[in-house]
């Protein structure tokens, strides 16, 4: 064994020496012994090996001693230069106190094109990293390196590599493997550096922008102060506002917590803006503001009667509410923030009957503030309960905003068109109303934006709807249902005389001394120009009439008065739009007149039956599933009782066609069952249905007539259409108590139990058919 195969060893924990590196080393006793042994040897070399953990190193670097001297701190030191890799063998003996080991030189592999390409790629990565650091002198040194192994070993100077990684490089004798490993590590480090540089740049830009905004805001505040436009908007102002405001204890506590957050937050922080908006909303709400209810029961009823004709159910309910509150106040039983002290009613009825305007009259009668919340088309649940404050542009819900607009905690809130509320992926707004409209729960209503308990128990909620069936049953159960079914012709004449005509005269700039409209003319408009349960179209025709009168007066002499009577209406309004057509429609067998209820109120419904060659049942007129089933039930009943009605069974074995005109309008419901039976029997027997007869009711396979809904609206529609006889189910007879007396006087109403009895009275006698046929 030669001397070069046996060298003193120096173990280093920091740094890790790679070939080509020159590093200073502080000399302790072991290191001095290794250096002295190396100097005493002929070669003057020593082996430097990393000792990072308990693992015995497998490789080291043969190093030469460049210089001996003192370190900057005064300690003894040496400068060592790494020359080549060596594999460490077993320990051996040698002169001096140093440790000696046997070594085996590591032979460098031959250079290949792949190694050169890897070296070039690694050099480009190193140069890119050095350029980012602007280390131009180091760049020149790296550019001069041509040996791939020497280039790879320069990684020993890399600060981004750990000592463990550098030891791995030392113990990788293959140059290609070393370069591949270094390329991977360097790429990862470059990607990390780029991300860190971008983040640092963004932070620097943000800080510069923040500093610029702060400077500008300070200058703006100084300018405003000089102009006398300084408005305190700091947290001190909010603290003073909260302390001076009259707030409930829980609200004050929550507001003071938010003021504390505002004082700790920066003016440039987005959270400070959210807190200011929330505090403004809370401070603007009338937490302890209430109006005093009127205790004049007669005066309240007088206000309701002056504003609206009829509607006794609603007026009675409001007067009852007032009377109970007045009596509780007299006896010291006021409920403040308690359960069920408010009132929740839903006014259901066709358009134009005064549901919406009634809310304002109720507020006047109670002496309360009035606010209207339009719900038509609302599909977002947050519209009712508000958005969480974390959302951009968050606002409280419509209920809280309505309280704020009213300026008191006990207003009359009108929830208009509650049956038009929709539902989609944003939630169901009607579900959010369940708590609002429950008298047992709404004393602790919690809006998502406010996140505070709001007492709505003293609010009078009025809801309006056209179709009750479209209101969810759980929501309808929480409200008192008051049905407004429409007006008779006499009612419309009174309403026009007392309310509509004076309003339209005022809009047309004419007085009662200049125009007079007779009751016959008003009745004619109600009967033949409009056929509606309400008075909205009626008022439009009166507006048109007043405009025509104003035009006629424009060239007339002073003091001219125009009287509009029934014959004059054609000249002002044109020909009537509606004329009785029941006799014409039922002039042939197979046509019967039924009664139905739509979103626009009651209406007559003609059902036609015919037969052709073929088999089966044909249904047309855009009928719903329930109405189709009614037709099938009616046909089955007529076939099973054909002999009772004098029908040839063969006449019902053909193709039966049942049609309900106005095919563009969807129709559904079971109440047309008796009308379909009557039409089928009329078709099969050839006997016409009486033109003055209308009917309604569900029918069973046994011919029983079952009860239906909307009796009052249907009878009003029958009276408007000129009918004189109406058949209804016997179990609906109690509903006649709600029908106006003048309607019952104009109609002969027959409660029926068996559909056969209806057919016996609704069809014209057989003798009349024979005479007609002759």
Distance CA 233, CA 229 (A): 12
The pair of structure tokens assigned to 718 is 């029958």
CA 330 to CA 213: how far, in whole Å? Answer: 62
Q: Is 90 a catalytic residue?
A: no
Rounded CA separation 577/584 (Å): 16
Q: Is 570 annotated as a binding residue?
A: no
Give the chain's radius of gyration (CA, Å).
49
Beta bridge partners of 103: 88
- What are the φ/ψ torsions at residue 160 (nearest 5 degrees)? -85, -5
The three state secondary structure string of 664-706 is CCCECCCCCHHHHHHHHHHHHHCCCECCCEEECCEECCCCEEE
d(CA 584, CA 570): 23
Using DSSP's 3-state secondary structure scheme, residue 483 falls into strand
Q: What share of the chain is helix, strand, coil (3-state, %, to 5)?
A: 50, 20, 35
Nearest alpha carbon to residue 346 among 455, 484, 457? 484
Distance of CA 467 to the CA centre of its chain: 23
The answer to whether 349 and 486 are in contact (CB under 8 A) is yes
Q: Is 45 annotated as a binding residue?
A: no
The stretches of 285-436 forming alpha helices (DSSP H) are 297-307, 312-330, 355-366, 382-385, 398-406, 429-436
Instruction: Report how far Cα 113 is from the mean position of its chain's Cα atoms.
Output: 66
Sequence-distant (≥ 6) Cβ neighbours of residue 552 within 8 angstroms:
562
Work out the angle between the directed axes of helices 355-366 and 312-330 (0-180°, nearest 10). 20
Tokens of 106: 């590591």
How many CB atoms are located within 10 Å of the residue 584 CB? 11
Q: Which of 195, 287, 282 is nearest to 247 (CA)?
A: 287
Choose, from 457, 667, 714, 721, the residue flagged as catalytic: 714
Rounded to a whole number, what is the largest CA-CA distance in the chain?
A: 152
Active site residue 548: no
* 544 marked among binding-site residues: no
Bridge partners, 80 (sequence order): 23, 65
Give the containing element (helix H, strand E) for 118.
Answer: helix 113-133
Q: Is 248 annotated as a binding residue?
A: no
Nearest 5°: phi and psi at 74?
95, -5
**550-574 in b/e burial notation, b at 16+ Cβ within 10 A?**
beebeeeeeeeebebeeebbeebbe
Residue 317 CB coordination number (10 Å): 15
Residue among 81, 80, 88, 91 at smallest CA distance from 106: 88
The DSSP code for 299 is H
Strand order in the sheet with 601-612: 617-620, 655-659, 601-612, 591-598, 693-695, 725-729, 748-752
Tell me how far apart the alpha carbons of residues 466 and 607 are, in angstroms, rounded to a whole number. 25
Query: What are 163's two structure tokens?
Result: 């000592």
Question: From the centroid of its chain, how far is CA 471?
Answer: 18
Which member of 671, 682, 712, 721 is catalytic? 671
Q: Is 209 annotated as a binding residue?
A: no
The annotation status of 614 as a binding-site residue, yes or no, is no
Residue 298 known to bind ligand: no
Phi, psi of 589 (to 5 degrees): -65, 150
C-beta atoms surrounding 422 within 10 Å: 14
- 3-state secondary structure string across 502-552: HHHHHHCCCCCCCEEECHHHHHHHHHHHCCCCCCHHHHHHHHHHHHHHHHH
d(CA 62, CA 105): 9
Asked if 397 contacts 451 with a C-beta cutoff of 8 angstroms, the reply is no
Q: Which of 668, 659, 662 is nearest to 617 (CA)?
A: 659
Instruction: Tell me which residues are annotated as active site.
Output: 671, 714
Query: Residues at the annotated binding site for ATP?
Result: 349-356
- Summarize the annotated binding site as residue ranges: 349-356
């Amino acid at each position: 064994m030669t001397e070069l195969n046996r060298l003193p060893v120096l173990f280093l924990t920091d740094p890790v020496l790679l070939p080509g590196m020159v590093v200073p080393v502080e000399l302790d006793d072991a290191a001095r012994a290794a250096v002295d042994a190396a100097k005493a040897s002929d070669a003057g070399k020593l082996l430097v090996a990393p000792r990072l953990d308990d693992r015995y190193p497998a490789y080291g670097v043969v190093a030469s001693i460049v210089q001996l001297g003192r370190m900057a701190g005064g300690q003894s030191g040496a400068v060592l230069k790494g020359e080549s890799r060596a594999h460490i063998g077993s320990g051996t003996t040698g002169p001096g106190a140093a440790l000696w080991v046997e070594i085996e030189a590591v032979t460098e592999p031959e250079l290949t094109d792949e190694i050169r390409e890897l070296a070039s790629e690694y050099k480009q990565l190193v140069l890119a990293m050095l350029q980012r650091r602007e280390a131009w002198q180091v760049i020149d040194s790296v550019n001069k390196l041509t040996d791939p192994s020497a280039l790879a070993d320069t990684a020993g100077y890399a600060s981004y590599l750990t000592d463990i990684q550098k030891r791995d490089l030392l113990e990788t004798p293959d140059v290609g493997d070393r370069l591949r490993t270094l390329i991977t590590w360097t790429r990862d480090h470059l990607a990390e550096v780029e991300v860190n540089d971008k983040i640092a740049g963004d932070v620097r830009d943000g800080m510069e922008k923040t500093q610029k905004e702060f400077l500008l805001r300070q200058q703006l505040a100084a300018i405003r102060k000089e102009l006398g436009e300084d408005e305190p908007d700091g947290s001190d102002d909010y603290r003073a506002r909260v302390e001076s405001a009259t707030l409930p204890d829980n609200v004050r506590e929550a507001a003071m917590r938010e003021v504390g957050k505002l004082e700790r937050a920066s003016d440039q922080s987005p959270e400070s803006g959210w807190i200011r908006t929330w505090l403004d909303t809370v401070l603007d709400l009338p937490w302890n503001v209430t109006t005093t209810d009127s205790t004049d029961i007669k005066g309240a009823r007088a206000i309701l009667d002056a504003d609206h004709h009829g509607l006794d159910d609603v007026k009675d309910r409001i007067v009852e509410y007032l009377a109970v509150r007045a009596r509780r106040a007299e006896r010291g039983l006021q409920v403040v923030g308690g359960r069920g002290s408010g009132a929740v009613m839903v006014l259901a009825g066709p358009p134009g009957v005064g549901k919406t305007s009634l809310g304002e009259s109720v507020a006047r009668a109670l002496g309360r503030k009035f606010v209207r919340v339009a719900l038509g088309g609302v599909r977002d649940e947050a519209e009712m309960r508000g958005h969480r404050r974390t959302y951009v542009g968050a606002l409280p819900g419509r209920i809280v905003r309505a309280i704020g607009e009213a300026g008191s905690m006990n207003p009359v809130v009108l929830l208009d068109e509650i049956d038009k509320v929709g539902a989609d992926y944003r939630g169901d707004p009607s579900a959010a109303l369940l708590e609002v409209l429950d008298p047992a729960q709404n004393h602790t209503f919690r809006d998502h934006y406010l996140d505070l308990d709001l007492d709505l128990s003293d609010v009078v909620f009025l809801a309006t709807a056209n179709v009750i069936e479209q209101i969810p049953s759980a929501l309808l159960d929480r409200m008192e249902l008051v049905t407004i079914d429409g007006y008779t012709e006499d009612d419309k004449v009174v309403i026009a005389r007392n309310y509509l005509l004076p309003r339209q005269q005022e809009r047309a700039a004419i007085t009662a001394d200049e125009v007079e409209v007779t009751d016959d003319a008003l009745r004619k408009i109600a009967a033949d120009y409009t056929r509606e349960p309400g008075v909205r179209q009626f008022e439009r025709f009166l507006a048109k009439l007043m405009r025509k009168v104003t035009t006629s007066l424009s060239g007339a002499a002073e003091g001219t008065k125009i009287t509009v009577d029934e014959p004059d209406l054609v000249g002002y309004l044109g020909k009537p739009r509606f004329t009785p057509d029941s006799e014409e429609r039922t002039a042939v067998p197979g046509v019967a007149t039924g009664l139905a209820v739509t979103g626009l109120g009651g209406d007559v419904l003609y059902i036609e039956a015919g037969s052709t060659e073929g088999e089966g049942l044909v249904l047309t007129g855009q009928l719903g599933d329930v109405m189709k089933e009614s037709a099938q039930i009616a046909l089955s009943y007529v076939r099973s009782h054909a002999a009772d009605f004098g029908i040839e069974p063969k006449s019902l074995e053909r193709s039966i066609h049942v049609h309900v005109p106005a095919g563009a309008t969807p129709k559904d419901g079971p109440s047309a069952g008796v009308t379909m039976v009557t039409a089928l029997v009329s078709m099969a027997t050839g006997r016409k249905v009486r033109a003055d007869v209308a009917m309604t009711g569900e029918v069973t396979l046994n011919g029983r007539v079952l009860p239906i809904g909307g009796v009052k609206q249907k009878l009003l529609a029958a009276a408007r259409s000129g009918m004189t006889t109406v058949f209804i189910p016997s179990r609906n007879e109690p509903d006649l108590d709600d029908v106006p007396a003048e309607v019952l006087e104009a109609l002969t109403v027959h409660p029926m139990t068996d559909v056969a009895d209806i057919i016996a009275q609704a069809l014209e006698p057989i003798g009349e058919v024979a005479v007609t046929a002759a």
